[in-house]
Homo-oligomer: A and B are copies of this chain.
Amino acid sequence: MNKQRRDNDIIQLAHGGGGRLMHDLIQDVFESAFRQEDFSARHDAALLRDINGNVVMSTDSFVVNPLFFPGGDIGSLAVNGTVNDLAMQAARPLYMSTGFIIEEGCPLAFVRRVARSMRIAADRAGIAIVTGDTKVVERGHGDGIYINTAGIGVIEHEDTLGPERIEPGDAIILSGDIGRHGIAVLATREELALESELESDCAPLAADVLALVEQGIKLHCLRDLTRGGLGTALVELSEDSQKTFVVEEDAIPVSNAVASACEVLGFDPLYVANEGRFAAFLPADQASEAVAFLANRNPELQPVIIGEVQDDGKPIVVARSPLGTERVIDMLSGDQLPRIC
């Protein structure tokens, strides 16, 4: 095996062919990285322990370039992305599958590093990686590594969260400053020299959400801010709930590093991707308690109340400036350029 490792230090098509090389790859890289008591590498399906409660399922694919960036990599992203989709239903993440699509020629060391990163992220988020799949595509038909994860979680409380639960008078809170992930990835890819060090905000959100529920906060709706950023998330929820949201533009925390990078690049931080932030809609009389509770858990994140829900039947999002002027936030019709992810 040692000899083979040296000889085959890049991914070949045959690593996905179902034969000996794939068999060795799975054993050598994935079985050794993932938690053995959880991971069912060779039987194509994993038997899970008992699940009691309402089950939630989610999936996400990850195609980030570069694979490694300050604050994370495609592996931690793939774990946290799916953990966070489950968390947005206030579900406890339980089990995860992972599908790798690897490009021929990708260094085996990258695959190994990403698998280890997934294991670390999964342990941190309290989710078990239980089953996986590997495909290899020809050179020029991939981008190093693409990962899909699908996750299962369980809702252990009575509430169902969703945009239909958003009510007039609800406060809108934001769990932390925005735009770090998108700018960190872009800066790495384009080799931009930022004024100050910037890391992706990539992080699991489930523990914070479950703690809020435990604390008795009556959450109506949660949304993690990924592609499209805070702006797109608000517009989608406004449309789905058919309510008007008014946010105080000045209240939205943006770090100096993100703000100055956005200024140089011509980006609006409202639309820059995040991977560890969420917006929550909840009764106004619990908003301050929720924010204080989150700030106590994560003092560095600056959770804040950013606005409120009105009910005049128009599904629009209005941003109010400190001077009292207003602008309507819409979805981007295309991409911000250059593309971030």
Contact = CB atoms under 8 A, between A and B. Distances in A.
A63 B135 CA distance: 7
A98 B17 contact: no
Contact of A46 (B58, B97, B140): B58
A16 B63 CA distance: 11
Given A59-B133, A132-B59, A44 B140 contact: no
Interface in A45-102: 45-48, 50-51, 54-63, 85-86, 88-89, 91, 95, 97-101
B135 A57 contact: no
A141 interface: yes
A204 interface: no
Contact of A97 (B59, B62, B155, B228): B59
Interface stretch (A113-121, A144-152, A172-180, A258-266): A144-152
Interface in A311-338: 330-336
A230 to B, nearest CB: 11
A100 B138 CA distance: 18
Contacts of A63: 101, 135, 137, 141
A42 interface: yes
A46 B57 contact: yes
B85 A57 contact: no
Contact of A13 (B226, B232, B331, B339): B339
A199 interface: no
A159 to B, nearest CB: 12
A301 to B, nearest CB: 21
B141 A227 contact: no
Contacts of A132: 59
Interface string A223-249: 110111100100010001000000000
Nearest to A153: B45
B57 A95 contact: yes
Given A45-B86, A45-B91, A97 B57 contact: yes
A142 interface: yes
A216 interface: no
Contacts of A148: 59, 61, 99, 101, 133, 148, 150
A80 to B, nearest CB: 13
Interface of A: 12-14, 16-23, 42-48, 50-51, 54-63, 85-86, 88-89, 91, 95, 97-101, 130-133, 135, 137-138, 140-143, 146, 148, 150, 152-153, 155, 160, 162-163, 223-224, 226-229, 232, 236, 240, 271, 273, 330-336, 339
Given A46-B57, A141-B142, 18 more contacts: A18-B227, A18-B332, A19-B331, A20-B333, A21-B333, A44-B58, A44-B88, A45-B88, A47-B56, A47-B89, A51-B55, A57-B95, A58-B131, A59-B150, A63-B135, A101-B101, A140-B140, A142-B142
13 contacts: A14-B333, A18-B332, A20-B331, A22-B227, A43-B162, A44-B223, A45-B88, A47-B155, A57-B130, A57-B152, A61-B99, A99-B148, A138-B143
